[in-house]
Structure 1
Amino acid sequence: MSTDEESYRPVQGWQFVNRSAFTVRHGGHTWVVDVDFFDWDERIRLYRDGALVDEQRGRVRFDLDDGSAITARTATYGMRYVRLITPDGVTHDVPPADGTAEAWRARVHAEHPTASRAVAAASWTVLVAAIVTQVPRLLDVLGVWIDGVPSFALDLPGPLNTALQVGGVLAAIDRGLRLRHNRWIDD
């Protein structure tokens, strides 16, 4: 690794699109969990006071010197969770770092809770509607190769179908930014 990769660089400018970071002060150190969503190896990096100390892939557990651990897991878009687990078993969510899309979404929720809840409810509703209407369409595509599979697809008008697909993607992004994941509708 080069020296530039070993030092943490805060998320800045347009990096919020492809990077995320979560920061916690613990045991006299500042710990940062950093992930680049365009890294096909799905590496999650842990920094202590700005210096890279560990790098793992997928669902990770970083053991800290005092018996604590930081656990993290990526999702399709964003992070499923980043948590600090203390030696006594208490789990704390690690907050997103400034400059990240997750921090922006958390700030919107804090400053405009009613609007945030409305967007969250709309996201959930759109995502469920997208799944209900698009999964049968996928089964139809698979049915082309398998004889005897009945068609379940709903015939929606083209613009409505496109709006539902785009809305489904936006809803999934909103849920990812809020670190809300449900195995039935978000994966």
Structure 2
Amino acid sequence: MAPFDVFSCSDQVEEKRLRPFRRSQVLHRWLYTIGFADHTWTVDVDLSDEDGAAELYRDGLLHARGELPVAFAVPGGRVEVDAGLYGVTRAHLVRDDGEERRLTPARGTAEDLRGRLARRHPLLSTAIAWLAIAVLAVNLVLAVPQALELLTTIPKIADNVGTFTSPVVLPMWLNISLITAGALAATERVLTLRRNRVLDVETLWTGL
């Protein structure tokens, strides 16, 4: 996980109200919220913005804005936010005593819908989660060596580390299938804010 520099919130931010979430924004906008220190804090990450910054709202009014990854200072702690290719990978309140609380996805977001599925159909949810793990594990074994071979064809990289020949050679249709399945599996992991340092390295390949 990337280090978080604590961003001190300033009162010198523009007066701006939190926009309602629309279903048409489900692929590029993420909202997470939490009640803490007598206020409702909402994180808004919209990758359709040019800078892709995160915004922190206090009771519906803009409180601070910062580039990802960012940690917003709040009374009694901080709100840590980070995002990747497939969405928000971290949205946690870290109290001064070290206790962490995950923010709750706002109603109507893809993360909220995924959470409802987990509550209503826990067995199905568990099966989907394990299927995502299996797909990423297979891709880690089959696709990543090919990604390394591709990277070492870049002259500057080849000059420093040499070339690499993948022991795995797959037909194009299977490569495309693996990339598609990997992207879906990575999205599933992000929707539930799950991350593993080894397993989720594979998501770098699906983004190539």
Q: TM-score range by the shorter chain?
A: 0.7 to 0.9
* Inter-partner Cα distance in structure 2 for 1:38 and 1:185: 28
Aligned pairs for 1:65-144 (under 5 A) are 66-144=75-153
* Inter-partner Cα distance in structure 2 for 1:48 and 1:13: 23
Among candidates 8, 11, 14, match of residue 18 of structure 2: 8
- Aligned partners of 2:56 and 2:65 also within 8 Å: yes
Name the SS of the counterpart of 2:200 in structure 1.
coil
Runs of 4 or more off by more than 3 Å in structure 1? 142-150
* Structure 1: tracts of 5 or more residues without a match: none
Paired residues, number: 184
- Aligned partners of 1:140 and 1:153 also within 8 Å: no
Residues 1:49 and 1:160: Cα distance change in structure 2 (over 3 Å): same
Task: Confirm or deny that 1:27 pairs with 2:37.
Answer: yes
* Structure 2: tracts of 5 or more residues without a match: 1-12, 202-208
- Aligned partners of 2:77 and 2:94 also within 8 Å: yes
Query: Which deviates more from structure 2 when the two are superposed, residues 10-19 or residues 83-92?
Result: 83-92
* Inter-partner Cα distance in structure 2 for 1:184 and 1:26: 33
Task: Confirm or deny that 1:156 pairs with 2:166.
Answer: no
Q: How far does residue 141 in structure 1 lie from its aligned partner after superposition?
A: 2.5
Name the SS of the counterpart of 1:186 in structure 2.
helix
Task: Confirm or deny that 1:165 pairs with 2:179.
Answer: yes
* Inter-partner Cα distance in structure 2 for 1:56 and 1:21: 15
> What is the percentage of aligned positions where both structures have the same residue?
36
RMSD: 2.1
Q: How far does residue 126 in structure 1 lie from its aligned partner after superposition?
A: 0.7
Name the SS of the counterpart of 1:38 in structure 2.
coil
In the alignment, which residue of structure 2 is the partner of 1:42? 52
- Aligned partners of 1:31 and 1:46 also within 8 Å: yes
Residues 1:68 and 1:166: Cα distance change in structure 2 (over 3 Å): same
Q: How far does residue 98 in structure 1 lie from its aligned partner after superposition?
A: 0.6
Residues 1:86 and 1:170: Cα distance change in structure 2 (over 3 Å): same
Q: How far does residue 2 in structure 1 lie from its aligned partner after superposition?
A: 7.2
Question: How high is the TM-score relative to the length of structure 2?
Answer: 0.79
- Aligned partners of 2:111 and 2:191 also within 8 Å: yes
What amino acid maps onto 2:44 in structure 1? Answer: D
Task: Confirm or deny that 1:182 pairs with 2:196.
Answer: yes
Question: How high is the TM-score relative to the length of structure 1?
Answer: 0.87
- Aligned partners of 1:175 and 1:181 also within 8 Å: yes
* CA offsets 1:21-78 (integer angstroms, 9 cap, x no match): 11112222211011012335231100011110100111212112x3222122222321
Q: How far does residue 85 in structure 1 lie from its aligned partner after superposition?
A: 2.4
Residues 1:56 and 1:186: Cα distance change in structure 2 (over 3 Å): same
- Aligned partners of 1:37 and 1:77 also within 8 Å: no
Q: How far does residue 18 in structure 1 lie from its aligned partner after superposition?
A: 0.5
* Inter-partner Cα distance in structure 1 for 2:58 and 2:50: 24
What amino acid maps onto 1:109 in structure 2? Answer: A
Q: How far does residue 156 in structure 1 lie from its aligned partner after superposition?
A: 2.2
Q: How far does residue 153 in structure 1 lie from its aligned partner after superposition?
A: 4.1
Name the SS of the counterpart of 1:30 in structure 2.
strand
* Inter-partner Cα distance in structure 2 for 1:150 and 1:56: 39
